[in-house]
Chain A
């Protein structure tokens, strides 16, 4: 790292920051693109179909259809970029970015590997170094902003169906955020801090000390709320072909639509990373005290991708909820459950455990 930095006439800190930026945002972005393919292939397999397997590089190299996201991207680039006549043009343009940026930003604080020392300097595997004072409150706050992407997209396109979808989605997101936050607060409480590194260190390397074992109820609540947060099935109220045409993105086409779709997948990645960090020990490798840096990154990646796969898996398993069922579940089940979880752990802590 030092040598590289001196080659580029920068300090190691800056070089590391740039490298991290490229790795994290590039990585999440390409994973999200890849996940569109995983979703399509996975759903196909689940339904005994085959899925997109024919896209080939240069018409020849067919790697089980992995070129599909690329082909989709190229297609989206060359589509006509329509803006509805009565749409609010500025917001219509802004909405995809409003959706995408929070989805990506949430990742900034999550450590994706163990910090290491090199040349007398400590390097952290997270965009924002630990002890920045925001900790895991930051992805929660940013996650709350994700609702603007959906709502602005819906409202600016000046379409009744879109606005219906956007309003449903934002109502769902807002009401599930409470249950989710309470579940996370329980973790902060038991970990004694809200910095991700503290949360991870508090969980340790033994799988039975991870939060998923210690707070299974909290995990279920958080997990469920994540589905509502990322607007995915069974809680995908922003969209709904059968009732509101396509939902909040009815009027979107070409690259703007693809950005909205990518935002959903980036959100999914961030949510999976959050889940791995909060409940599955982040970069901790099971039964290994001080894992090698690469091993810890690998461990984190495996956990994150597993949860990303679970998102896909659940989507193709469960039927959708009705709107009133969703609200019922959110307010009357999830919220009390996470409160019970909070009170239970507070009581346990008061007993000195």
Chain B
């Protein structure tokens, strides 16, 4: 019995001749398994539970750093305050707009570009590396590059192009603030999509393509009937992972527009930041954080329902 438990493998358990002792072995095995993983589970649980309960606690009291000691219980007042604030609706819609547009841009462009670089051409290796490289640039640096080198209305590259064609340069961050942010973030995340889709394309079965060509499929039919279905899974991965990160975009906004003008580029993450550290209202920010957590969970729930199925499905 002891040896069965220690070997812990299903094979050694199955080798046990008698039904009773085999079940006993498995039960014992799973108990030992549980014991072995418990340290990491406990650490992880503490890691989550402590900050979460602190946040919940802060969200239920008045806690403004400007008025120390004035910490009485206020119930859901912080939540009510956060939700009814004008910035909340703006933050919500900006977050959705930002996430949605960046997803759309990165997926569509990602598919097209990865299809393009999947063709054999001279210098493909270099082009691929160049395409991936923006991903390795820190968000802050990326935003600064865009702000000072590309979009700057006086010294930016875009301004130079506009001037070259005789047009008036655009002051991107004041005229199209959210669009500018979307551009910057898309540039940052496009390589991620390309990377995943490019690798997926390489595993596209050549003989299937040939069979389809013999069946009379042109480039369009090939794309819609073979390539796109094949890319469904990596696209799902791109959408899920990007959504997680895009919901909490912060550095790009902080370094460029600072959430403005007005609330035009304030997303939820930035709103919470401004509540906590610009208005020093920790209670309100905690409430906002909890709302964001709930929203992220709702988004995650739908994402998993929508596309998670294709991930867990066996290929």
On whether the two chains bind one another, the answer is: no
Name B residues whose Cβ lies closer than 8 Å to a Cβ of A. none
